[in-house]
Structure 1
Amino acid sequence: MKIVAVEAIPYSIDYRKPLRFASGEVHAAEHVLVRVHTDDGVIGVADAPPRPFTYGETQRGLVAVVETIFAPAVLGLTLTEREVAHTRMARTVGNPVAKAAVDMAIWDALGRTLDLSVSEMLGGFTDRMRVSHMLGFDTPEAMVDEATRMRSDYGIEVFKVKVGRRPVSLDTAVVRALREGLGDDVELYVDGNRGWTASESARAMREMSDLNLTLAEELCPADDVLGRRWLVQQLTVPFVADESAVTPADITREVLGGSATAISIKTARTGFTGSQRAHHLCEGLGLEVVMGNQIDGQLGSACTVAFGAAFDLTSRRAGELSNFLDMRDDLLTEPLQIRGGELAVSGRAGIGVDIDPDKLDRYRLDT
């Protein structure tokens, strides 16, 4: 069970339409596939989606740091020495997505070796999660049409609405159109990606107070310390810290400082090991948790549902698991299926999915 090689393979798959939000936009899944090889011939896989506008990582940077720093750090370790791998990678500042992908590929390889699913190894609380679909910037008509299609085709009834534009009325009009078009049975919540000021956020939430929103995420920047604390104190829904609360230390700072009342956990940036730490802290502090989406492909979504379904706390709310539906293709041999508004855990060993070698050859950028 010793790690003998680590690969970082860049690839690119187009989206059918760009996803637009306050901190950037994405036209293609320009990701990095990480593969961990063992001396037993087992290969664990995970996906690394760079988000330069959020964490500063790029596709080329991910390949470089995995190949030159993290691979040498974990070579020779056994798959059960995950804490050693975590500690060695933690010596390097930043690079959360690269660290997470190596971590999850090790977990996948361990699960394949033991013939156990990662979700079982983590906790095995349930075998599925409700799905939340993320709606990017567009006109009210287009966003209502997309949500209606997702509801009709996949049974999804929870929607995360990207906001944060100026003027604020652009977004409040969209959310109102969604509520009117979808009815009262659908759950809506908003994510500003730090696009508004604290005062703009307060105004927007007042204007939408009759729309029965359930969460508000990263409406204003976390470094506006006093403004964000002032905003959170007046909200009547949980304020979710996402990119401002990646590590346990971040979570502690934001919550005890009064700048957040709920947390988004994304396996794409904290892996399974770091996500466990975040989950246990949130459980201890009595915080609500949302399993977030890093604009993941199917491999990333499989990781998210594997972790989210492993615990009671992380499976209570719908997980953001559906944005792979916007991709023109994917790398998996068997596509993920959302049915009745739910995504089931594979149940197979490891993360439970396999990479199609022909598709990887088609989309990889290093050949």
Structure 2
Amino acid sequence: MYKSIETLLVEIPTIRPHKMAVATMQTQTLVLVKITTEDGVIGWGEATTIGGLGYGEESPESIKTNIETYFAPLLKSLAGLNIAQTFAAIKRNINGNRFAKCAIQTALLDIQAKRLGLPLSELLGGRLRDSVPVLWVLASGNTEKDIAEAQKMIEAKRHNIFKLKIGSRAVEADVEHVLAIKQALGKDVSIRVDVNRAWSELEAIKGIQLLQDGGVDLIEQPCAIDNIDAMQRLTRRFDIAIMADESLMGPGTAYKLAKTNAASVFAVKVAQSGGLLEGCDVATVANLAGIDLYGGTMLEGPVGTIASAHTFSTFANLAYGTELFGPLLLTEEILKTPLQYQNFELAVPKTAGLGIELDEDKIDNLRRK
């Protein structure tokens, strides 16, 4: 039985403004879920999103309200069920709420893995790697600042793959910005772009052709979420990789995208998928369809980031690496021992559960009162 289910909103400033087509972030609100069992085992999960309702259908406030109003009473009523039966009951009784479901599932898997004395990755089929590659997103919007930031990351051996957030300016201005950075960093450094669904199909045709000619490696979500026909046409038209992100909302949408050849790469986000297990299902669909994988992020803090790393460590195909840099964007550390980023990768803990220890005093000082 579960003694308590708490949802904490934790406000942490970012190290610099993070500019996207849908929002400019200067503070991230982490949504942390803490579940405590009757015998004192604690599991943590995270349901962090980006830009409130500007990005998706769930916000920190709605997640907290729905967990407290619907998820917590349901969980406390589920006596004597195993973890699979518990997940089935949640699916049966609660529609939507993918981010909230992911946080609850993560916390319950953390508890289960701790009881078994295993890293969480071993509950997801078993890890194939002990670390995952991590890129860095350049999102100041200033070309010279982005070049200097990237060069600093390369010298520190922290990141050597970079993604640029574009879509808030005219196509020509964005392309000029991206290609100036590509030219400055050289042919051996991979540059990708995330349009955050900001372009029309005609804008995408113009922009993608120029970016492909300039040596950019990947275009993420160029068009609107539901414009699958345009994604299909762009994927077929260009040699450059076209990646589905916001259009990918779990295994069902993964199947539809794969069936229509509407992407050559899937950005797997555990919260967007509705859970770690569902993220693994998305990867299975991709593998069966011959689609490459990329480990995405909702700019989570360390809880959601390491949960994602456990998940991605089990993927046979992780051709485009991961974007699990979220904790590095934050000015405050909420773990007693920070996550280990080195040699361009993030280490996946080998201790039981998520393999992290949270600093609850620090969290209490940062939480929204």
TM-score calculated relative to the size of structure 2: 0.93
Query: Aligned partners of 1:328, 1:245: CA distance in 2, in Å?
Result: 30
Q: How does 1:1-367 map to 2 (within 5 A)?
A: 2-51=1-50, 52-75=53-76, 76-77=78-79, 80-89=82-91, 91-122=93-124, 123-269=126-272, 270-313=274-317, 315-366=318-369
The total of aligned residue pairs comes to 364
Q: Which digits, 9 at most, give the CA deviation of each residue in 1:101-133, with x for residues without a partner?
A: 000011111111111101122212110011111
The 8 Å contact of residues 234 and 242 in structure 2, kept in 1 or not, is answered as: no
Query: Aligned partners of 1:82, 1:69: CA distance in 2, in Å?
Result: 19
Q: Which runs of 5+ in 2 are unaligned?
A: none
The 8 Å contact of residues 10 and 31 in structure 1, kept in 2 or not, is answered as: yes
Q: Which digits, 9 at most, give the CA deviation of each residue in 1:240-259, with x for residues without a partner?
A: 11111112111122222332
After TM superposition, the runs of 4+ consecutive aligned structure 1 residues lying more than 6 A away are none
The 8 Å contact of residues 108 and 351 in structure 1, kept in 2 or not, is answered as: yes
Shift of 1:78: 5.9
Query: Aligned partners of 1:318, 1:226: CA distance in 2, in Å?
Result: 27
Query: Aligned partners of 2:92, 2:26: CA distance in 1, in Å?
Result: 31
Moved more, 173-182 or 72-81: 72-81
Q: Which digits, 9 at most, give the CA deviation of each residue in 1:15-44, with x for residues without a partner?
A: 122211112222212122101111221000
226 and 50 in structure 1: CA distance in 2 versus 1, 3 angstrom threshold: closer
Question: Counterpart amino acid of 2:56?
Answer: Y
RMSD over equivalenced CA pairs, Å = 1.8
The 8 Å contact of residues 16 and 140 in structure 2, kept in 1 or not, is answered as: no
195 and 77 in structure 1: CA distance in 2 versus 1, 3 angstrom threshold: farther
Shift of 1:311: 2.4
Moved more, 252-261 or 81-90: 81-90
Query: Aligned partners of 1:294, 1:237: CA distance in 2, in Å?
Result: 24
TM-score calculated relative to the size of structure 1: 0.93
The 8 Å contact of residues 13 and 27 in structure 2, kept in 1 or not, is answered as: yes
77 and 159 in structure 1: CA distance in 2 versus 1, 3 angstrom threshold: farther
The 8 Å contact of residues 154 and 338 in structure 1, kept in 2 or not, is answered as: no
Shift of 1:339: 0.9
The 8 Å contact of residues 225 and 246 in structure 2, kept in 1 or not, is answered as: no
